[in-house]
Structure 1
Amino acid sequence: MQILTIHIFVSLGFICRDILSEYSRQVIELGSCLLKLTSEALGLDPNHLLDMGCGAGLAVLGHYYPPCPQPELTIGAPDHTDYDFITILLQDHVGGFKILYQNQWIDVHPKQGALIVNAGDLLQACISLYLKLNIVAILLVTNDKFVSSRHKVVANKVDPRVSVASFFMTETLQVIEPIKELLSKDNPAKYRGTTAKEYVDYFRAKGIDGTSALLHFKIQIN
C-alpha cells in the first residue's frame, strides 16, 4: 500500500500550518477509508485502489467567493468535474454548491458536521452526497462503473462563501488505465492509458467548459 506523506510549506503562518497539517492527516484517513470501501464495492481487495496509488497525493485548496450584488450575472465556479480520484469538500453555512443529477441542478445544502464527497474523473460516482456516516462510493480506472459528478457553485448577494477542497491524486508519471480485473470480452476498456500529468495538462489546456476531459481519452469502439 502506498503511504501519502504530508508536506506543509514552511512559509505558511504558524496557526494555519498546524491546522492544515492536522486537517490533512484526518482527511487522508477518511480518503483511505473511502478508497477501501470503493474497492470492495467493485468486488476487489480492499487495498486495491490504494495499491494503485489512487491516494498517493493530496492537494488542499481553499476557496473564497465574495458576495455579488447581481449574482444572476455571474457564477462562483462553472459547471465541471474534478480531475482527481475523489474530492472531500468542507463548506461553510452559506451554500451555493449544486450537482447535476438526471439533467437537473440539485442544491447540496450545508449541514453542520457534514462533508461532501465527489468522485473525480480518474476514479468515475453517479452523484455526490453528504458524508455523515453515510458514505458514497466513488471513471477512468473503473471503466465507467462509477461516473464523476458534474457540479458548480452559484454566487449570492448576501454573504461570502468559504470552502476547503481536498483532492486525492496519484504521482504525476503514474500510468492510469481501466482496472484489468473489471474488464471482459463484453466489457472492454473504454479509455486508453494515460499518466496523471498528461491528464491534468489536457484538463487545464481545455479549460472548464462544461464538458469532460475524459472524452479526449475515450477509445472509439465499433
Structure 2
Amino acid sequence: MTSAVGSNYDRGSELKAFDDTKTGVKGLVDAGLSKVPSIFIHDQPITNKAHSSTTQTRVNIPVIDLNGTNVRNEIIENVRDACENWGFFQIINHGIPKRVLDEMIDGVLKFHEMETEEKIQYYSRDFRKRFFCVSNFHLFTDDAATWSDSFLSVMAPDCPQFEEMPSVCRDILIEYSNHVMRVGLTLLELFSKSLGLEPNHLKNLGCAEGLFLLGHYYPACPEPELTLGANCHTDAGFFTIILQDLLGGLQVLHQNDWVDVKPLSGALVVNVADLLQASLRYYEKFMSTIV
C-alpha cells in the first residue's frame, strides 16, 4: 500500500517533528489522530494471502514442558529439534509464577500509559542509558516507522540505579528479571547438553552475564492496513525470552510461511536468535567432524 505524497514532502522533517514530541505513537493516538502519518506507511502490502494458508492453522511452534527430571533426555531432544527446525519454541512449567508474568505485562502497560509529563523524562536516543523509552529504535534509518513504542532497561550485569527506573514498574522489572535469569541458565544448560557438551559450557563462555529487558507497546491504530507494529526482522542477541499477552500477534517465518505463535497462558516464547543459532551451527559442524 503506497502512500501518495507530494513532490515537496520532506520525510526527514516529519520524522524529526514526530521524535521531538517525545510522546511516541501513544501521543498521536491521544491527540485523536484519524489518519496514519506518511512516515508509518509501508510501500509493500501489509497482508499476504499466501501466508494465510490452511498450513498456518495446522502448524504451531513446538511447546516444551520443562517439568520433570525423569524426562530430562526427552526435554534435551525436544530442545535440539526445535533449535534445528524452528529457531523458536514455547516453554511451560518454567518456574516463573503466573502472577509475575501478569504483573510484568501490567507493568509495561502502566509505564506506556503514564501521564505524558512524567513519561517524557525517560524518552531518549542515547542508547547508552540503562533505562530509556523511545518510539522506533531505527526511526531515522528504516524505510518506514512502525506503530509501536518501547522502553529498554539493562538489568545485568549493571542494573539501573533504583531511582533511574519508573516507580510504576520498577519492582516488577527487578522481580521478573531475577526469574528470567534463572530460566536463562536452565536454557543454556539445555542448549549445551543438546550439543553433547558439558552442562555449564555456554555459561562458562559468559553467555549468562548480560540481560536487557524490552517493553513494547502497540497502541490502537486508525488504519492498521497501512502499517505494522513490528517489521520483519531477526534478533541479533544470544537468545530472547518473549512474554506476549493473550491477544497474540507474534508470527515466525517457518519454511517460507508465516506461522502465528498461539498464545498459551503462562508460557514463554524462546527465540534462539542469530548469535546463539550461529554458535549452535558451529558446534554441530565441529562435533560432526570428530565423531
Does 2:152 align with 1:49?
Answer: no
C-alpha spacing 1:49/1:185, structure 2 compared with 1 (3 Å): closer
Indicate whether 1:64 and 2:217 are aligned. yes
Q: Which consecutive aligned stretches of 4+ in structure 1 deviate over 3 angstroms post-superposition? A: 184-187
Match of residue 286, structure 2, among 173, 176, 183? 183
When normalised by structure 2's length, the TM-score is 0.43
- SS of corresponding position for 2:252: strand
Aligned pair in 2 of structure 1 residues 185, 95: CA closer, same or farther (>3 Å)? closer
How far apart, CA to CA, are the structure 2 residues paired with 1:184 and 1:90?
A: 33
Matched residue, 1:7: 159
- What is the aligned partner in structure 1 of residue 272 from structure 2? 119
Please give the root-mean-square deviation of Cα atoms over the aligned residues, in Å: 2.1
Q: Which has the higher contact order (CA 8 A, sep 6+)?
A: 2
C-alpha distance in 2, partners of 1:34/1:53?
A: 14
d(CA) in 1 for partners of 2:223, 2:169: 33
Shift of 1:6: 5.4
Give unpaired runs (5+ residues) of structure 2: 1-155
CA distance 1:185–1:117, shift in 2 (3 Å): closer
The structure whose Rg is larger is 2
Q: TM-score, normalised by structure 1?
A: 0.55
Cα shift readout 1:170-202 (whole Å, capped 9, x = no counterpart)? xxxxxxxx45x8526959xxxxxxxxxxxxxxx
Query: 1:8, 1:17 within 8 Å by CA — same for their partners in 2?
Result: no
Equivalent position of 2:234 in the other structure: 81
Between the aligned partners of 1:94 and 1:25, the Cα distance in structure 2 is 25
Letter in 2 for 1:8: P
Q: Give 1:82's aligned amino acid.
A: D
Quote the Cα distance in structure 2 between the aligned partners of 1:185 and 1:117: 26
CA distance in 2, matches of 1:19, 1:96: 24
What is the Cα deviation at residue 104 of structure 1?
A: 0.3
Letter of the 2:286 counterpart = L
Structure 1 contact 86–117 (Cα < 8 Å) conserved: yes
3-state SS in 2 of match to 1:122: helix
- Deviations along 1:41-95, whole A, 9 cap, x unmatched? 0000010001111121001010001122322211111111111111001111221
Q: Quote the Cα distance in structure 2 between the aligned partners of 1:110 and 1:8.
A: 31
Check whether the contact 1:6–1:21 (CA below 8 A) recurs between aligned residues: no
Name 1:35's counterpart in structure 2. 188
The Cα shift of 1:14 comes to 3.2
Shift of 1:115: 0.9
How far off its partner does 1:5 sit? 3.9
Partner AA of 2:197 in structure 1: L
Structure 2 distance, partners of 1:82, 1:91, is 16
Is the helix fraction higher in 1 or 2?
2
Cα distance between partner residues in 1 of 2:167 and 2:288: 55
Higher strand fraction: Structure 1 or Structure 2?
A: 1
Instruction: Report the 3-state secondary structure (helix = DSSP H, G, I; strand = E; otherwise coil) of the residue aligned with 1:106.
Output: strand
